[in-house]
Structure 1
Amino acid sequence: MTSAAESTSRSARQAANNRAVKIGARLGIGAYGVTHVLIAVLALQVAFGNRGERADQAGAFQDLAQQPFGRVLLWVVVIGFVAVVLWRLEQAIWGFAYESDRTKKLRNRVTSAANAVVFAVLAALAATTAAGSGGGGGGGQGPTAGVLGLPGGQLIVGAVGIGIVVVGAVKIVEGGQKKFLEDMSLPASTAQRATVERTGQVGSVAKGITIALIGVLVVVAAVRFRPEEASGLDVALKTLAAQPFGPYLLAVIAIGLAAYGVFCFFDARYHRV
């Protein structure tokens, strides 16, 4: 039994760690960059008054699907995202053996597992859009409403919102400290290294701000007992746009998200996969 289990584990690891998966993972990271550039474009349209645009991943995939050969490209995106899921799962289960600090190793594995979940959701959303199902509905209102209806639901949702804010804050801090460079093998060119560093810093800070905004809306939804206010990135950006000077702030964040997309292109090339 033990031998069979070890053999199965070894086969699964080899499948998740083969060359095709690694190439696909780089494709998926690049597709993640395209997604953020598209979100940035949609966010700019929202900032300049077109509130009918959906400025989130679903909106980005729908926009891509409307382009020539867009659905074909979306299926390529799905393949890339699935490859990222396999690669991240391999890291979560077997990765970071070189790390002597057990706490840091565990943290890296948990982060990889969380990334696997994120890309699995994105893969499902992109596949749904490519299949012509519209890419989903209105975000997180359904599950939020369900949790709010439970005993202690407001506390649970509030705690989740605070957790999301913390994740956003960590992303901002790590971006400022250039933590993302730890997983990359950068080129020798000083100019290229500087470009990677600056796009990574600006992009990570903007990404962290959007995550924190979503968390704030979740907390507000819990306090006000209004689940419709906790509906993801699209609502977060449109809520920001509705504030005094909000369109200008949203335009700045959109530029940051575009920078994150550009950084993902570099990450697809230089990340240690």
Structure 2
Amino acid sequence: MTLSQILRRGRTARSTARSAEKETLTAAGRAGFIARGVVYVLIGMLSIRIAVGSGGQADRQGALHEIAVQPFGKTMLWALVVGFAAMALWRGSRAVLTRGRQHKAGSRVVDGGRAIFYAAVCWGTAKYAAGDGQSNGNAQSQDWTASALKLPYGQELVGAGGCILIGIGTVLAVKAAMRRFLRDLDTGAMSRRTKQVVTALGVGGGVARGMVFAAAGIFILVAAIRFDPQEAKGMDATLRSFTQTPAGPWLLVAVAIGLILFGVFSFASARWRRL
């Protein structure tokens, strides 16, 4: 075998490996978006139940409970674990492997943070599927806030955390309203009607999601200002707080519909996202 043949085979092997790696990460990203969509659709449905007085817990724990009580619920829970692990893998790979002007250092930091977030979600879902970790999300938020307030400069740290969450929610809502998400989608593969529907899902869903994040951040900021961890709220209590506005339960219904739209948009992202 000549040297040129050896080099050619080496290049072919590397190309095959890169192709296999890309396909694996693409599949991981799509699985992650599906898992995210399932949870948001369920949270939205649970929020509507609360708005009409039917009870329930409108957060990730409540969504997991709804899945667990279904036929083959355990199997579906473990499928979500795989999906969230896949999302963490995909986000982590974007943070570490992606280079170039289209993916600057700031974007890699954001992807790294999202990878850590989805790894935590994966761990929490796995604990739930294994029969552990079924504590109330609102109580967890208050416990974390109480622990943080005891730290040196804890009041400032909690306040900063609340401001960051408010900022994240605001950015999510503004980007959704500006339709920035379309940059990440293969809109050329969509029909005109499909693009209109996906755009509506992304705008409505993204704005509602941003509102929830920002509202949760406001409660954390209030907890810091008042030095009272009981003021902090998880997603369930944050959503319930919308019923205490002048719009009453109708605002919660609107936000709930938005969260369902975001869940469906996640399914669309699994199909058309450029991964």
> Over alpha carbons, which structure has the higher Rg?
2
Tell me the CA shift for residue 244 of structure 1: 3.3
Where does 1:97-116 land on structure 2 (aligned, <5 Å)?
97-99=100-102, 105-116=104-115
8 Å CA contact 1:203, 1:259 repeated in 2? yes
Tell me the CA shift for residue 233 of structure 1: 0.8
8 Å CA contact 2:28, 2:86 repeated in 1? yes
Partner of 1:38: 42
Partner of 2:213: 211
Q: Structure 2 length as normaliser, TM-score?
A: 0.87
Taking the aligned partners of 1:55 and 1:77, their CA distance within structure 2 comes to: 18
8 Å CA contact 2:28, 2:89 repeated in 1? no
Taking the aligned partners of 2:84 and 2:18, their CA distance within structure 1 comes to: 19
Deviations 1:26-76 (A, max 9, x none): 11201111110000011111111234x111111111111111101101111
Change (3 A) 1:50 1:166: same
Instruction: Work out the number of aligned pairs and report it.
Output: 257
* Identical-residue share of aligned pairs (%): 37
8 Å CA contact 2:179, 2:203 repeated in 1? yes
Q: Which runs of 4+ in 1 moved over 4 A?
A: 13-16
Q: Secondary structure at the match of 1:151?
A: coil
Q: Name structure 1 gaps, 5 residues minimum.
A: 1-9
Report the aligned-residue RMSD. Answer: 2.0
Tell me the CA shift for residue 14 of structure 1: 6.3
Taking the aligned partners of 1:129 and 1:148, their CA distance within structure 2 comes to: 28
8 Å CA contact 1:147, 1:153 repeated in 2? yes
Deviations 1:75-119 (A, max 9, x none): 1111111111111111101214252xxxx6122112211221221
Tell me the CA shift for residue 18 of structure 1: 4.5
Partner of 1:89: 92
The amino acid across from 1:173 in the alignment is V
8 Å CA contact 1:161, 1:215 repeated in 2? yes
Change (3 A) 1:149 1:249: same
Taking the aligned partners of 1:120 and 1:14, their CA distance within structure 2 comes to: 24
Q: Structure 1 length as normaliser, TM-score?
A: 0.88
Tell me the CA shift for residue 16 of structure 1: 10
Deviations 1:188-239 (A, max 9, x none): 4000011111100110000000000100000111112221221321111112
Change (3 A) 1:224 1:16: farther
Residue 69 of structure 2 is aligned to residue 66 of structure 1: yes
Taking the aligned partners of 2:110 and 2:180, their CA distance within structure 1 comes to: 13
Deviations 1:243-271 (A, max 9, x none): 33231111000000011011001000111
Residue 129 of structure 2 is aligned to residue 125 of structure 1: no
Where does 1:96-175 land on structure 2 (aligned, <5 Å)?
96-99=99-102, 105-137=104-136, 138-175=139-176
The amino acid across from 1:128 in the alignment is K
Tell me the CA shift for residue 154 of structure 1: 1.5
The amino acid across from 2:109 in the alignment is V
Change (3 A) 1:41 1:82: same
8 Å CA contact 1:16, 1:90 repeated in 2? no
